[in-house]
Amino acid sequence: MTSAWLALAVTTAIQSLVSMAVLTLPVMAPAVAQALGTSATYTGLYVALVYVGAIFASLSAGNAVARFGAIRVSQGGLVLCAAGLALSALPSLPAIAAGALLIGLGYGPITPASSHLLVRTTPAHRMSVVFSIKQTGVPLGGVLAGAIVPGLMLWVGWQAALLFVAAANLVCAAVAQPLRAGLDADRDPATRLALGNLAGPLRLVLSYPALRMLAACSFAFSITQLSFTSYLVTYLDAALAYGLVTAGIAMSLAQLGGVGGRVFWGYVSDRWLGARRMLTTLSLLMTAAALATALLHPGLPVPLVMAVLVVFGASAIGWNGIYLAEVARRAPAGQAGLATGGTLAFTFFGVVLGPPLFGALSGLAGSYRAGFLALAVVTGLCTVALARAHRLLPST
């Protein structure tokens, strides 16, 4: 039991720091864009580059974890994120693009590594809630980014803010070192690393109908999640005139909704609804929240706006733990990390496509409202597909 809680604590902390790394530049996007003489709508391209790197890293993570151990792979991810943040601090668009790719290479293997650890230490009947608790690291990273980074940027500048988060990632990697021997005891140094192995996780996912359905579901949900978190601050600043600090606080509240949602939905899934019904319910909530967000205007009471965003965060950020736990359940014995890496490739592909399309559509329409309306359509279609998928994704 001690090892189970230790594994959960360390994987959650690591997830928080790499998630903060991904969102640090997007929460400063208007100010960074102004400093560089470009448009904040290109935030979507930055996020896309992050997840291009993450796709490659997630596909290679299964064999890397088997060879080096989950903690060592996670430490490497933290170091890569720190390097990417430092590179992004250079006042150059090519440097920022290269930094985004490095952050993605660091972010991609974190979830397969944590799944490898948690599936070894978690009882089957607690899988959804434990994986959901671990996945609170993603919105916790968003909370840290929204609450700390805008104020830090105003105090020391956007470049120093990036370096501060880079240093925090390096500290986390150092703190994890004493745990490495115990938690990486199952590593096999004889495991081969080869480019040909990258297709293995995809073949595994495509071979199992339930895994295919989960991967498709995550593709649509990731479009919604990352578009929401990448553009929320910019949307509130441009459409509701909230200012960066207030908009950052709003994003923190939405991320806190995701933190609470991940744990609550995981408990409800394990206790009552099962994975399929829970995912269908969350998809419906995303649809309603995206539509409500598109209809926000400056005359609405601030508490009402915040409530809408908390619901959006609870659903659009709250689905991942249930999804990952279900992937681990459906994976063949001993292949949870490999299956997670394969399904995450589809998840990250949605991220690659989603935010740039959101930004392009919003730019063409002259309003970010059009982007949120498109998210409502995407999640609405996903709700229908999930509701009809009784045979492929039965309740568990």
CA 300-226-30 angle, to 5 degrees, is: 65
Going by C-alpha positions, the residue among 114, 123, 84 that lies closest to residue 1 is 123
Residue 58 CA, distance from chain mean position: 13
Q: What is the mean pLDDT of residues 193-198?
A: 59
Q: Which residues contact 97 (CB under 8 A, 6 or more apart)?
A: 46, 49
Mean pLDDT, all residues of the chain = 85
Both structure tokens of 252 = 């923190």
Q: Which residues contact 117 (CB under 8 A, 6 or more apart)?
A: 7, 11, 70, 71, 183
pLDDT above 70: residue 380: yes
pLDDT above 70: residue 211: yes
Cβ atoms 207, 201 nearer than 8 A: no
Return the exposure string of 164-177: e unless at least 16 CB atoms fall within 10 Å of the residue's CB, then b.
bbbebbbebbeebe
Q: pLDDT band for 44, please (50, 70, 90 cuts).
A: confident
Compute the distance between CA of residue 223 and CA of residue 354 in angstroms, rounded to an integer.
4
pLDDT above 90: residue 162: yes
Both structure tokens of 123 = 């009882």
pLDDT tens-digit readout, 116-129: 777 776 776 676 77
pLDDT above 70: residue 391: no
Q: What is the mean pLDDT of residues 222-227?
A: 90
Compute the distance between CA of residue 77 and CA of residue 104 in angstroms, rounded to an integer.
9
Going by C-alpha positions, the residue among 136, 147, 135 that lies closest to residue 24 is 147
Which position has the higher pLDDT, 5 or 390?
A: 5
DSSP symbols for 39-91: -GGGHHHHHHHHHHHHHHHHHHHHHHHHHH-HHHHHHHHHHHHHHHHHHHTSS
Write down the residue that tokens 């601090």 correspond to. 89
CA 73-76-82 angle, to 5 degrees, is: 145
Cβ atoms 41, 363 nearer than 8 A: yes
Torsion of CA 375, 348, 111, 206, to 10 degrees: 110
Neighbours of 299 (CB within 10 A): 6
pLDDT above 70: residue 195: no
Alpha helices (runs of H) in the chain, residue ranges in sequence order: 2-27, 29-36, 43-68, 70-88, 93-107, 110-121, 127-135, 137-156, 158-176, 180-183, 199-207, 209-239, 244-268, 275-294, 302-316, 320-330, 336-365, 368-387
Residue 337 three-state SS = helix
C-alpha count within 13 angstroms, C-beta hemisphere, residue 256: 12
Q: What is the mean pLDDT of residues 36-45?
A: 77
CA 85-152-160 angle, to 5 degrees, is: 40
Which position has the higher pLDDT, 329 or 97?
A: 97
Write down the residue that tokens 């601030």 correspond to. 302
Which position has the higher pLDDT, 315 or 58?
A: 315
pLDDT at 2: 47
Q: Which run of H or of E encompasses 273?
A: none
pLDDT tens-digit readout, 233-246: 889 988 888 887 88
Compute the distance between CA of residue 174 and CA of residue 223 in angstroms, rounded to an integer.
33
Write down the residue that tokens 């994986």 correspond to. 131
Q: pLDDT band for 222, please (50, 70, 90 cuts).
A: very high
pLDDT above 80: residue 200: no
pLDDT at 203: 84
Q: What is the mean pLDDT of residues 364-388?
A: 90
Compute the distance between CA of residue 341 and CA of residue 177 in angstroms, rounded to an integer.
24
Both structure tokens of 301 = 């009471």
Neighbours of 186 (CB within 10 A): 12
Q: pLDDT band for 1, please (50, 70, 90 cuts).
A: very low
Both structure tokens of 83 = 């390097």
